[in-house]
Structure 1
């Protein structure tokens, strides 16, 4: 085996590839989930129909709820490319996510080899093959950890994946730079360039990548500077200043007192306070660790029943968890000299949880947050296994069996957990079963049941969720979501007025609830309560700058018969959504209503070339109103050859229900479509009679 590895350096890479395909090959048929909808499926700037610099640039600002702000540009850019090549087919997205996880494991493997080459570990005298074997085991254990399914299988968590990929790549290039001999300036410069590029890409993928800088300081302190003596300070000066630079850069960017103060005062929308979050997180961090080292699918879920820590003694696990976390950190610091790998694994884990598991008022627990902090978690375990294999005869056998069992258990748990992610229903049924006291899990499942037309079950889940939230601060978020879900159920049952009441309640309880506001506006438009819809849009515009509100306002103006105001709104929206077909079609419709039929024709032709489905119907409407009967007839014939009549009539009936959609003169177009269909049918009959 050693001879084979020495001759073929790609054997380990091949093993990592095989493990990846074996573990994640079953996710290709999985669907979309939860935040995938807002971040990808309904995130219009990501929906590229052609590749141009301006549209690609707009993806960098594709925040699902606001605009004008740079938002995870590399992650959004990757989603946009996926959309361009495969639209909303999840297979392509899964293939990219699997590839990212695979690449991360390979680079982690290479980084572990480099860590084993650092000055702190030279006294271990590991052979080159031992280093490769230790690194391989560490990478595969990380790869197979079932807790990572929530980052790999959950499409939108590509953001976390890319942050991890580029962070570990930056670490690899940094180690290469540090370990390259000083007389190899070209190589050092190349590696340094690679480090800087990867660091920037990591920061542009997700904000928690900012911890790369203190992580590099940690690497410096443990693996390069731990043997520095006071009398050798002159020789170590350059390294000391480099360490200070890393600490200062990370500290200035992240540990800002203003940011801490702002975050501590922004808990109004959560069902926990700043103090409760700080007290609860140590228990959650230790729970994450238990999920790594006791890997079973039954302990993994998109939702967990977490009892808030309201004091050091309530619940009783709070103080022991805080003590254990502090003890682990102290132990990690104390064993820097004797157990460098163990020290690094512990400190890196806690350090890289600082962004998402401390002061920022995010949800308390999500398993995908562990992808980056856990990168080097298995490295000391792998080194321990390597050391024990060289001891007495029975020790290697026991260690090999234990390691194999752990690896198989992790792999099976990963494969089984991926099955729970098959669709939103299976995922949330699993969550409700494992977290029966979690109201949000019930509401997510209620949403799925509503889609499946299981309205009674969905309504009952909403009722249960509201009861769980009664008397708690969580009513600020849970009860509005429950009311909105009830509104969706009422709407599906044809109870539009009742739906409007529920949506109004949800919006009144939580003014910044975007989904409730959009649902309310949509129903008000359908009920032709246009003034009420414009009032809600105006309120929302004061709360936040969102270009979608401009599209909604324009749509209402078109329905009110106010094309001039609609055109002004579309022109404002065009500043944010350049070349968006919906904006082009809207401007075309406004021009039709203003009687500017030639201008409308140009705009609608442009939209039709962008494959906007409403464009051809509006072209027909424009030609009919402009008395261009020949052009209208040709377009009708073309449309009926491409689209079945029943589907076309259904599309016409449902067109007015989408608040963003451009309103049609449905009666005029339907009559024209039916006449054209009848004419085509008669022509076919005549041809048959002639034959």
Structure 2
């Protein structure tokens, strides 16, 4: 005979999270997850800053201002300090970093400790939530919580300080779920108010907390006797909070979506027709990482997981698994089965990771599995608990560990927890610093242009810092090879070309350095570094020009500001020497002309370029500069005549066609403007 559910619900209504803790057994069990967090991640306390810790903490302008920077952090895009607008509004973790900076400076040990404390607190909150959802099942709750905490994919979140946004988002979101559930039983308005506050804090931690909004109605449906109207009203309250957050975000950032870069490294899946099969394929990867967490990677960017079509059989395997999961969830929905709820929880919390691929063509990332692991942990725990015998009359579990299946029950949990824990503890040292992370993950991430670039860059940095020549040369050679592999995978990878330019500059191969800098992203830092390469070559005119351009882009560029006086002094000295030096070399006067151009002294520059052409009549470059000087002096007739001379020497000269098109446009001769424009395009 089944127990009276109405009586059971009435009894449950009078209980709350606080009364649950008062249970003498749970009062002690709740501390197990907290202690377990230190067992799992205690070996990260001596770690340095790694990966995105640098731009988000160490080099973040406002984080480093401590208390004074908090007001700015509350109004900035998450990546604003790096000059990027991704439309991410996540001030809470940045504020926590700023507070820590004010209290102890950049102390990675304390920051890692805070992450572990927050993770331990997360374990306690998960335990509390599950204790309320699965009442009178303390062992079930504890084991599900420990499996969640032990899963190795969490290392990217807990061992990486920057990922505190993920921890805070999940922690606050889970607290909101706990308090909503408490309110459904106790009708305590304080619980509901606190739920709203924690939900809002979860959104301020990371926008993916919006998934909590979708979990609330399912939680109330599965674990309370509440009907549709009540569930809808509670859900609507949190929809209102979400709308308020979006309005705040727009008020602070001026946008909801930002202007994400379209680089192929982080957004590689551009073919819309292949998005769905590729998303299914990556979903399969996520499942594989959940079940078999081997060869974990911090980076899955281009071209680690290539775009695939429907012809790939693994796409159909993933689709089949998705269909089974949906069928199981629907089949058990009316019965309010644990499996159904867990699948729904898993699916909802996976939404951000899947949407990032499907809607934006973004990459896989293990941090997207942080919340979904809880759904899988409940499923695994539930299935293993099926091995235990039950009373025939009541159906209650019997904790009799003598039968063979009960021994299998113990062995299953022992194997899973031991395996996951060992994998987590072993993975943590990889996150000690950039070198340990990059050198380990490159073994399995050879197809990622970004990973090759990261590893190559770190090798080059270590080469520069090394004092032993043999070690210095070895590190530099290996670093350059990794960077070359990076641009082989992605020939348009500007950051890799920039680092190659830096590497060859350190090797004093300035021509090759300049060649790679020209292929890099044309930003202030690239121009400043390229200027130094020209300076080392003795081309002070080009060096000065590039430094000026660099400072126009970023007046605060330290490299450009520091080296401008040095280059200016060298330029002036060279100019004096060239002015007094008697020469019959066309190149001498060509260089002198360029130096006058840098001073915007176009009259003297014109004379120098004319002298260069006089000494070498076939010197097309000098003749083009003669025309350019006429143009700058607004002598358009002579400029046109000069560029026509250029075409006599070089009939397909694209620059001459462009300049003539521009000049005829200025003079109102649009037919000739169009004629030379078409010539320029044809060449």
For Structure 1 versus Structure 2, the TM-score category normalised by the shorter chain is 0.5 to 0.7
Q: Output one character per residue of 1:500-538: Cα deviation in whole Å (capped at 9) or x when no partner.
A: 542332115xxxxxxx64243355379574543443455
Aligned counterparts of 2:120 and 2:501: Cα–Cα separation in 1: 43
Contact 1:214–1:247 (8 Å) recurs in 2: no
Corresponding position of 1:452:
462
1:415 to 416, 421, 425: 425
CA distance in 2, matches of 1:554, 1:486: 18
* Pairing partner for 1:20 from 28, 34, 37: 37
Once the 2 structures are TM-superposed, how far is the Cα of residue 74 of structure 1 from its aligned partner? 0.3
Q: Which moved more, 1:416-425 or 1:264-273?
A: 264-273
Q: Distance in 2 between matches of 1:401 and 1:464?
A: 46
Distance 1:19 1:143 in 2: 8
Query: TM-score, normalization: structure 1?
Result: 0.65
Contact 1:217 1:247 in 2 (8 A): no
Q: 2:531 aligned with 1:524, yes or no? A: yes
Tell me, yes or no, if structure 1 residue 299 matches structure 2 residue 295: yes
Q: Within 5 A, what are the aligned runs for 1:187-586? A: 188-224=188-224, 237-243=229-235, 270-273=267-270, 274-295=272-293, 298-304=294-300, 306-313=304-311, 315-338=312-335, 340-358=337-355, 359-361=358-360, 363-391=362-390, 393-453=403-463, 454-469=475-490, 475-476=491-492, 479-495=493-509, 498-508=512-522, 517-522=524-529, 524=531, 527=535, 529-536=543-550, 538=552, 549-552=554-557, 556=561, 559=564
The aligned residue for residue 110 of structure 1 is 128
Are the aligned partners of 2:203 and 2:245 in contact in 1 as well (CA < 8 Å)? no
Post-superposition offset of 1:447:
1.2
Residue ranges of structure 1 left out of the alignment (5+ in a row): 118-127, 183-187, 229-235, 470-474, 509-515, 541-548, 562-691
Task: Report which stretch shifted further, 355-364 or 33-42.
Answer: 355-364
Aligned with 1:10: secondary structure? helix
Relative to structure 1, the CA distance from residue 491 to residue 78 in structure 2 (aligned partners, 3 Å threshold; closer, same or farther) is farther
Q: In the alignment, what sits opposite 2:3? A: none
Match of residue 472 from structure 2: none
Do 1:214 and 1:250's aligned partners in 2 also have CA atoms closer than 8 Å?
Answer: no
Is 2:163 aligned against 1:154?
A: no
Q: Is 2:352–2:368's contact at 8 Å kept on the other side of the alignment?
A: no
Q: Which segment is superposed worse, 132-141 or 350-359?
A: 350-359
Question: CA 1:403/1:263 → structure 2, altered by over 3 Å: closer, same or farther?
Answer: farther
8 Å CA contact 1:75–1:159 kept in 2: the answer is yes
After TM superposition, the score normalised by the length of structure 2 is 0.66
| Deviation (angstroms), 1:550 | 4.8
Displacement of 1:369:
1.3
Higher relative contact order (CA 8 A, sep 6+): 1
| Cα distance, 1:340–1:244 mapped onto 2, change above 3 Å | farther
Q: Does 1:145 align with 2:156?
A: no
Residue number in structure 2 paired with 1:43: 60
For the 8 Å contact 2:551–2:561, the answer to whether it is kept is: no
Go from structure 1 to structure 2 and tell me whether the alpha carbon gap of 1:530 and 1:46 turns closer, same or farther (over 3 Å shift): farther
Return closer, same or farther for 1:340/1:249 CA change in 2, 3 Å cut-off.
farther
| Offset of residue 260 of structure 1 | 12
Q: How far apart are the structure 2 equivalents of 1:553 and 1:38?
A: 17
Number of residues of Structure 1 aligned to a counterpart in Structure 2? 499
CA contact (8 A) 1:40 1:46 kept: yes
Distance in 2 between residues matched to 1:520 and 1:340, nearest whole Å: 62
Q: Secondary structure of the residue that 1:191 maps to in structure 2?
A: helix
Shift of 1:141: 0.6
Distance in 1 between residues matched to 2:434 and 2:260, nearest whole Å: 33
What does residue 675 of structure 1 align with? none
Contact 2:547 2:564 in 1 (8 A): no
Counterpart in the other structure of 1:664: none
Alignment of 1:666-677 (within 5 A): none
| In structure 2, C-alpha distance between the alignment counterparts of 1:203 and 1:282, rounded to whole Å | 27
d(CA) in 1 for partners of 2:275, 2:558: 39
Query: Matches of 1:364 and 1:386 in 2, distance apart?
Result: 36
2:483 & 2:562 partners in 1: Cα distance? 35
Q: Is the 8 A contact 2:483 2:499 kept in 1?
A: yes
Q: CA RMSD in A?
A: 3.4
Find the aligned partners of 1:215 and 1:357 in 2 and give their Cα distance: 17
SS in 2 for 1:303: coil
Could you tell me whether the CA contact under 8 Å between 1:503 and 1:517 is conserved in 2?
A: no
SS state at 2:333 partner? coil
Relative to 1, partners in 2 of residues 1:212 and 1:20: Cα closer, same or farther, differing over 3 Å? same
Larger-gyration structure (1/2): 2
**Deviation, structure 1 residue 91:** 0.9
The answer to whether the 8 Å contact 2:126/2:174 transfers is yes
Q: Which digits, 9 at most, give the CA deviation of each residue in 1:40-62, with x for residues without a partner?
A: 2211111035x34xx32122226
Say if 2:89 is the partner of 1:71: yes
SS in structure 2 opposite 1:354?
Answer: helix
Aligned mates of 1:190, 1:37 — CA distance in 2: 40
> How far off is 1:168 after superposition?
0.9
1:523–1:83 CA distance, 2 compared to 1 (3 A): farther
Q: CA deviation at 1:410?
A: 0.6
Query: Residues 537 and 355 (structure 1 numbering): CA distance in 2 closer, same or farther, change over 3 Å?
Result: farther
Alpha-carbon shift at residue 248 of structure 1 (Å): 8.6
Deviation at 1:422, TM superposition (A): 2.3
CA distance in 2, matches of 1:397, 1:248: 50
Distance 1:306 1:428 in 2: 15
Task: Give per-residue Cα distances to partners, 1:413-463, cap 9 Å, x unaligned.
Answer: 111111222222221122121122222221111011112101110011112
- Distance in 1, Cα, partners of 2:330 & 2:240: 20
Work out the CA distance in 2 between the residues paired with 1:537 and 1:411: 51
